[in-house]
Every structure is written in structure tokens, then in C-alpha cells.
Structure 1
Amino acid sequence: MKEQVTDISKVLLNIAEEMRLMRETINQQHTEITKLNRNIESLNHQLRKKNEEIAKLKKRLPKYETPDKNSGNSSTPPGKERMKDEIVRRTKTLRKPSGKKPGGQEGHKGHKLSCIDTPDEVIDDVPDYCTNCGESLADAERILDYVTQKVSIPELKPVVKEIRHYVMVCKNCGERIRTAPRHRSNDVVYDASVKSLVVYLSVVQFLPYGRIANFLHDVLGLSPSEGSLVNWVNEAKRNAQPIVDKIKEYIMSSNVVGFDESGCYCNKRLDWAWIAQTVYYTLLFRANGRSSKVLTEQFGDSLERMTAVTDRHSAYFALHFLNHQVCLAHLLRELQYLSELDTDQKWSEQVANLFREAIHERNTNPTDIISKASWLDKLDSLLKLNVSKLGKKFDTFKNGLIKCRDYIFNFLEDPMIPSDNNASERGIRKLKIKLKNSCTFRSDFGADAFLELHSVVETAKKHNQTPFNAIQALFEV
């Protein structure tokens, strides 16, 4: 028989006490769980921050683990590379060692200055007394031993010419006749020789107007204002306009033209300077962009008759050129970077060797027409290889080669097409030197003056004329 409960109140009190204790335990556990949840949330927040920091560090890590891009292994211009890279570039070359000793090779003829037949002054170097016995040599026999010539610069002093202008009165009609109308300007003017020197220092030696004025004052004792220097450059630009138009006409009728473009700071904005050059002519001009429409507006339908030698800038491939040649020097620099990026793989070096062999074949046979079919077959076999495992940069470069495959070996089939665009880069680099010295052009007219006069100078050099003589000719028009 079950035990009967006799004291119900006591049992209820015990149950109430147990429930109270259980409630306190639940409250304590809830407080503890809430505290743990807060801690977990805090730890999750810290973990997210750590993950973001790790992601940033991973993004920065390739900068220190992978080789830097510079002008030796990419299209990075020399002016934007680090000083450390510049030092390496000046002491390192992409050319492979030939194994020969440095210096003049056996059979190489040395060169030295030769004496001229008509020196301006002859000086006799004759000893006065005998160093052995002390006897005077005034009446001794004179024998010519050897001849040297010393070149010196005469004292730089401006020549001032006073021109007296007369008026002649005709006896027949009484008309007063002058040789030329009177100039409404200063009584003292500078002639073409001074103007030519100023333009030469500005366009060829890339000096700012302030430094040109200092040179004229310190060396020649001349004191023209900087405004006069600007006017003389502008005068040369106006006189050069027919020549620039003729250069453009010749380039438009040329079969092979090299193109390139570069930034040009002008009047507080970034413009773009373009170069179009051939073996005999160079034309530089300025535009507000670097799209394909710039060349379309400048050269029109003549582009369809040209073979363009360029880098892989997309604007050139949007135009309908007759043919195209991609600069192999650019490709070799990019391949050099890939070789530095992964020294264990051989793919980039194999492609580079293929390009070098093709260039060597052209240099060895400069006038031959060489079929590019076998070279394309070799390239295709390399492009079929899987380089995805080497990294994204290898895959990107390979895809770029596939896109321009048909424009890589065209220089083999036409001896007039160069394998690189170095001539265009050298031609436009003078602009970067000018900007490095002067930082910017302060007017559109000044920028156009430099580019057009530089076109005349570079064209003159290609025709074996000195830049100074070409500039002098502008003031003789």
C-alpha cells in the first residue's frame, strides 16, 4: 500500500525551494550564455578584421616577392622606375654575352683627330738653350721634330653692327627712297644668329627660357628678355609651317610608318603627344587623347596604305592599316619579366629565343624576303602549351600573343619593316627630357612650337643635316 502524505505544506515548500534554486541556476546560465555570446561576437569581429588585414597583406606581398616592373622588363618608362631599378638598368643589358673581351676587337681600326692643313695660327716651339751644357741655341740648326694642333674657343664676344639707313632723294621727281620700310621697333635688335642659337638651345638642348637667358648673359654678355626668347621660338614655328606640312605629306604617302604616343603636360592638363616617323621623316603633333580617332583625323584614308609599326596599344588595332608589325622589343621586355617572375619555368625563355633568332635572321640577311610560315609554326607549338599552372600573368601574356600572332613576323617578309618600334620611342623621348627640365608647357602654342620644330630638327638629322643649320635656315626664309 502506498505511503500517504501527511504534511502537504512541507512538501510544497520543498518543491518551491527547488524551483527557486532552479530559476536562479537558469538565470545564472542565461547570464553566462549572454556573456559568452558577446565574447563570441567580439572574437568574430576581431577575426573578420584579422582576415581583412591578412587579405591586404597578401595583396601587398607580391610587391616584395615578385620582381619589380621597370623599363628593362616591361613598358614602364624610365622616369617612373625606382632609383634602385635605374641603377640596375644602367649596369645591365638584355643582350646576351658574346664571350669576347671588352674593348676594341682584333682588327678594329682606331680613330683619332687629324690635323687640318690650314691652321689659323702657327706657333714655333723652340728651346732657347742646351739642357746639357747650357749653350745658347739662337744660331743652332733647326730641325722639325713633330707637329701637334691645339683647338681652343675664341673669346665669345658679340659683334655689334651699326646700320645707318639713308634716304635718297630722286632728282627727277623728288621722291624719298628707302631700301626698306622703317621698322617700328627698338633701335637695337638681334639678328638671325642669336635667334637660331636660342631656338637650338630650347628645342635641341631642351633648356627652359630662364636658363637660356642666363647662358646668353653669362657667356655672351647678351640680355634679351624671356619674352623675346618666346617670340623668336614662335617666329621659327611660323616659318617652319610649310616644312611641317610637307613632312606630313611625305609620311602620308609612305608605306611603312612607326607610331607612338606619350603624355604631354600642357597648360595645367594632360594632353598626348604623338609621333609618326619613317626612315627619312619625323612628325610630332599634340592631341587631347590617345584614341584611334586621333590618327584618323590626322591622316585620314592614307592609313589604309600604311604598314604600322607600333606597340600593342589597342588604339592601333582599331584602325584599318594595310598591315601591322608588333614591336618585338616590347615583347622581349615582357618575357624578361616573366623569366624573373618564375626562374624554374622555361616557356618564356623559349619564346624569347624564338624572337631573337628571327631578329638575328633578318640582321644576317638584311635584304632577303624570308617566309614567316616556319616561324609561325614554331610559335604556335609554344602557344599550344598549357601555361595556366604558371600563373595568371603567363596566361594573360600568352593570350596577348595569340591576338597579335599574325603581326609578329611580318618584318621577315618585307626588309623595309623594322622588327621594333625603337625609332619612334627615341624620337618621342626628347619630349620627356624637355618636360623633365621644364615640367610643363604653359601654353598650347608653346607646346605645338616645340613639337613642330622638333619635327624639323629630327627630319634634318635623318638627311645628314645638323640641327643648328636646319634652325638657321628657318630665319633665312
Structure 2
Amino acid sequence: MTKDAHIAALQAQVNQLTVLLDAALVKIAELEQRLNMNSRNSDKPPSSDGLSKKPALPRKRGLRKSGGQPGHPGRTLNMSERPDHRIIHPMTGPRCTCGCDLTTVSAHLDWERRQVFDLPPTLLEVTEHRREHKTCPDCQRLHLAPFPRDVNAPVQYGERVRSLAVLLNVEQSLPLARVQELFAGLTGYGISAATVQAAVARTYDKLEIEEAIIHQAVLKSSVAHGDETGARIAGKLHWVHGFSSLLYTLYVVYRQRGGAVINGPESHLADYTGRLVHDCLNSYLTMAGGVKHSLCNAHLLRELTALMELPPAAALPTSWPAGMHALLMDYYRASDHGKGVVSSKELAELDRRYRELLALADREEPPPKQGKRGRPKKSKGRNLRDRLENWQEAVLAFSRHPAVPFTNNLGERDLRPWKTKLKVAGCFRTLQGAQYYARIKGFCSTAKKHGRVVFDELVNVQRKMSFLRLT
């Protein structure tokens, strides 16, 4: 091999190694980015951050101390005017220290009293029902008085026991074995798993009208929240869709994340015409009808943070993500931390900066690359920049409408109980069981939003007298 041929071979080898090195650096950058993902720069939950997690949005410091705040009503245990039991403690000595005999002196009980609130030895009362019967003296026909309609077995649990079982299993996410253990400890009676499951199924059937009322109430709300989370049901991945407002919560279990359940024939949002707050899932954005959109700015801030933390090998240095992150926070502070609207003067200046940053992003982000087939591929920064431009009204809606929040926190908060339930149970064994949980949990969430006691409302459901039917 000649010297020139040897040099050419080495140059070809260097070029090949350079290509491989560039590809390896890009792959390493992608893996590092994936390793550095947390709740600040991705959709990972804050619980995955461990002890290093921080608030998603900055909080006002120095204004409030820890503990109860001024004006808080508190929950001090007050004395009862009608105690169930009263114990009189007699004096231990018959004489005063001066030697006077106190046995003939009248005792008074108005000096001081103390009360102890505690559970009774057993919480279960047994009520026996007996019906009269009479025999006709002429024809000897037997006549029997009817039992109450809900007393239909020789031995059964009452409506409050069934409501407690549903409360513990659904609202408090206790597994069946824990419900049985707690019930036995409080009452001295062992309740079977089948009884708990039957109580859940019965409550589900009785809440059909309430679920329809909740659905219509959310559809009529001016601002609603939509979100979804995955759940393992019957061995397959399903999706739990939350559709909620300040006072109502609806859950829908479906086999897909989007599509028909959002903007198709099985949609629970088909008739909604208010403003829907969501995290920019495409199925929401393509909804037909008069729905207006508001994008969750917490998601946008996390995406901007991820772009700011990209390693140099993954992308060209850009300055617009940091500028847009700071600008959105300026909008947030100018709107009184998302509680009001921005003044027209401030809004004009902030909107001008918004347009300037979009123009800067257009220059800094690489243009789409056309592959061998399909649409041109865009970078993450280019995708985010286009979304901020195309959906500017939805991104900044919170700064113009007082009822629109800065984030989709309400929708995400309404879905958290599902994660708690799945962490405890691992999965739902049947789709029917997940649907039971969805309807009952939606009613419990709605009751709490209305300031109702969930247990009392579950008892009222057994009597078909829930607060939703009476309002």
C-alpha cells in the first residue's frame, strides 16, 4: 500500500469514527436527559423526586407562619351539654383541715367539670324486627304484618354498616382485608369480603342518577378541567379520564387515552361549550363544537425547564426557553399569582415580550428536517415554540379571565386518589370493579367539594336522599 493510499484509508477511518462519535454523543445526551428527568422538567410526579422535591410554583415567603392562620375557625373539642354518662366523684375526706365535720354539709356540683370523649366498647347495635300475625276466627286465614322494605333477610347488616364499608374501601382506599380487620376491632363482629363487595355494588347501582347529575353540572360549568391517568385494569392498560369543576367530579374509565372518549361517539365532553383547562393532549385540541381551551402552564414551565437543561451536545445553545420561562412567571405574578387578571397596561408590555421571544425562538430552533418519508421532524424546542404561537390565547387565558387558573392543578388533584388506590391494590382485577370505584369516588369527591360529610351522604344514598337529588 502506498503512502497516499494509507493516508486516505486512515482519513476514511477517522471520518467513520467521527460519525460514530457524534451519534454516540447524541445518544449519551438523550440518556443523560432521561436520567435527569424529574417533576420540574417532565410529567414525572413529585413523589418520584424523593426528599429533594420542591413546590411547582414559587410561594410567597414571610407572609404566613406555620400552623393555623388568623380567622381560621379551628376544631377545638368543646364540652357537650348532654353527656351520655355522668360520674359523680365524692369527696375523699369527711372533715375540713380546720377540724369541722363536712358530712352534714350539702354538696354542690357546679364548681368544675371535665369530659372525656371516647368510643363505646362496641359500635354495633342489633335491632330485632318482629311482625304481628293474626288468625281469622271464621276462616282460619293467617294475616301477617309486613316487614320494612329494606329488612329482607333473617340476619343482615344495616345501611350505616354498608355505608361504612363503602367509605373504607372506596373513599379511604383500604383493601378488603384491612376493612375486615378494622370492622372486627371496632365492633367485635367479622364482616366478610363478599359483604363489602356487595355493599360497593349496591351503592354503585344507587348512584346512577347522581352520576348523571354530576355530568350535566360539569357540562354547564363555565370552566372545567380535563386530565387522564393510566391504570392497569383486568391485566391491560386502561385510562381514567377526569372531568371536573370546582364543585363536581366525574370519572370515566376507557380503553384509550384519547380519541372516541374525548371527541368521538363515546365522548363525555361532546356538549361542553365552556373553557376546558388541560395539558395540551391533541384529542382535546381537536374537539369539535364551541369549546374554548386553556393550557396548563405548569406543563409548559416544565417543558421549558427541560430545554434549559439540555446538554450542549444535544442541541445548539438557545436563550429563548429561559426568557419564556421568566415571562410566564411574570404573567403569573402580575395576575396576583393566578388569582386575578393582568391590567391592560402590563398586558400590552408582556404580550410584546411574548411576541419577541417567539421570534427569537424561531431563529434559534433548528428548522424541521425532512426524512425519507412522513412529515418533517421537528425538535422538542421547535414543537414547543409552535405550540406557544398557535395556542397563544389558550396559554395566556388565565391573565385575561379571572375564573381561569394558571395550571390544571384541580384536574390533576382529582386524579390523585386513583394513584393512591392503585398503589394499595396494585390493579383492578375487573373493568366492572374500576367502574364501581369511578362512580362512587366521583360522588365522594363531589360531596367533599360541597362541604358535605361523605359518610352521611353515603347513608343518604342508601335511602335515595342524597344532597344532589334534593338540590
Q: Secondary structure at the match of 1:363?
A: coil
Tell me how far apart the structure 2 counterparts of residues 362 and 287 of structure 1 sit (CA, whole Å).
32
Tell me how far apart the structure 1 counterparts of residues 345 and 156 of structure 2 sit (CA, whole Å).
61
- Which residue type is aligned with residue 266 of structure 1? I
Q: Secondary structure at the match of 2:207?
A: helix
Deviations 1:361-396 (CA, angstroms, capped at 9, x unpaired): 652569x99996654333112222247758955444
Tell me if 1:72 matches 2:40.
yes
Deviations 1:71-103 (CA, angstroms, capped at 9, x unpaired): 233222346x3xxx22111x5553156255843
List runs of 5+ in structure 2 lacking aligned partners.
312-316, 367-378, 465-471
Q: Secondary structure at the match of 1:432?
A: helix
Q: Tell me if the contact between 1:170 and 1:177 (Cα under 8 Å) persists in the aligned partners.
A: no
In the superposition, the TM-score normalised over structure 2's length comes to 0.76
Instruction: Report the counterpart of residue 381 of structure 1 in structure 2.
Output: 356
Tell me how far apart the structure 2 counterparts of residues 339 and 164 of structure 1 sit (CA, whole Å).
76
Residues 122/176 of structure 1: CA separation in 2 closer, same or farther (3 Å cut)? closer
Instruction: Report the counterpart of residue 4 of structure 1 in structure 2.
Output: none
Specify which of 310, 320, 331 is matched with residue 300 of structure 2.
Answer: 331
Q: Secondary structure at the match of 1:285?
A: strand
In the superposition, the TM-score normalised over structure 1's length comes to 0.76
Query: Bigger CA drift: 334-343 or 68-77?
Result: 334-343
**Which structure: larger Rg?**
1
Residues 361/422 of structure 1: CA separation in 2 closer, same or farther (3 Å cut)? closer
Instruction: Report the counterpart of residue 370 of structure 2 in structure 1.
Output: none
Residues 78/270 of structure 1: CA separation in 2 closer, same or farther (3 Å cut)? farther
Residues 57/398 of structure 1: CA separation in 2 closer, same or farther (3 Å cut)? closer
Tell me if 1:275 matches 2:242.
yes
Tell me how far apart the structure 1 counterparts of residues 345 and 424 of structure 2 sit (CA, whole Å).
45
Instruction: Report the counterpart of residue 424 of structure 2 in structure 1.
Output: 437
Deviations 1:86-143 (CA, angstroms, capped at 9, x unpaired): 2111x555315625584369977795615235151556788857xxx89899679989
Please state how far the C-alpha of 1:221 moved relative to its aligned partner: 1.9
Tell me how far apart the structure 1 counterparts of residues 208 and 39 of structure 2 sit (CA, whole Å).
35
Tell me how far apart the structure 2 counterparts of residues 166 and 369 of structure 1 sit (CA, whole Å).
78
Tell me how far apart the structure 1 counterparts of residues 199 and 178 of structure 2 sit (CA, whole Å).
16
Quick one: percent identity of the two aligned structures? 22
Tell me how far apart the structure 2 counterparts of residues 101 and 344 of structure 1 sit (CA, whole Å).
38
Tell me if 1:306 matches 2:274.
yes
Q: Secondary structure at the match of 1:384?
A: helix
Please state how far the C-alpha of 1:472 moved relative to its aligned partner: 0.9
List runs of 5+ in structure 1 lacking aligned partners.
1-32
Instruction: Report the counterpart of residue 193 of structure 1 in structure 2.
Output: 160
Specify which of 324, 330, 336 is matched with residue 354 of structure 1.
Answer: 330
Q: Tell me if the contact between 2:339 and 2:405 (Cα under 8 Å) persists in the aligned partners.
A: no
Please state how far the C-alpha of 1:215 moved relative to its aligned partner: 1.8
Q: Tell me if the contact between 1:276 and 1:282 (Cα under 8 Å) persists in the aligned partners.
A: yes
- Which residue type is aligned with residue 423 of structure 1? L
Residues 150/383 of structure 1: CA separation in 2 closer, same or farther (3 Å cut)? farther
Q: Secondary structure at the match of 1:302?
A: coil
Tell me if 1:252 matches 2:219.
yes
Q: Tell me if the contact between 2:173 and 2:424 (Cα under 8 Å) persists in the aligned partners.
A: yes
Residues 251/195 of structure 1: CA separation in 2 closer, same or farther (3 Å cut)? same
- Between structures 1 and 2, the one with greater helix share: 1
Please state how far the C-alpha of 1:464 moved relative to its aligned partner: 1.4
Q: Tell me if the contact between 2:338 and 2:405 (Cα under 8 Å) persists in the aligned partners.
A: no
Please state how far the C-alpha of 1:67 moved relative to its aligned partner: 7.1
Q: Secondary structure at the match of 2:78?
A: coil
Q: Tell me if the contact between 1:461 and 1:467 (Cα under 8 Å) persists in the aligned partners.
A: yes
Residues 474/109 of structure 1: CA separation in 2 closer, same or farther (3 Å cut)? closer
Residues 153/100 of structure 1: CA separation in 2 closer, same or farther (3 Å cut)? same
Specify which of 411, 425, 428 is matched with residue 424 of structure 1.
Answer: 411
Query: Bigger CA drift: 390-399 or 465-474?
Result: 390-399
Tell me how far apart the structure 2 counterparts of residues 144 and 183 of structure 1 sit (CA, whole Å).
47
Query: Bigger CA drift: 215-224 or 440-449?
Result: 215-224
Instruction: Report the counterpart of residue 434 of structure 2 in structure 1.
Output: 447
Tell me how far apart the structure 1 counterparts of residues 64 and 404 of structure 2 sit (CA, whole Å).
33
Aligned residue-pair number? 434
Tell me how far apart the structure 2 counterparts of residues 427 and 94 of structure 1 sit (CA, whole Å).
19
Residues 59/118 of structure 1: CA separation in 2 closer, same or farther (3 Å cut)? same
Q: Tell me if the contact between 1:371 and 1:413 (Cα under 8 Å) persists in the aligned partners.
A: no
Q: Tell me if the contact between 1:273 and 1:287 (Cα under 8 Å) persists in the aligned partners.
A: yes
Instruction: Report the counterpart of residue 113 of structure 1 in structure 2.
Output: 76
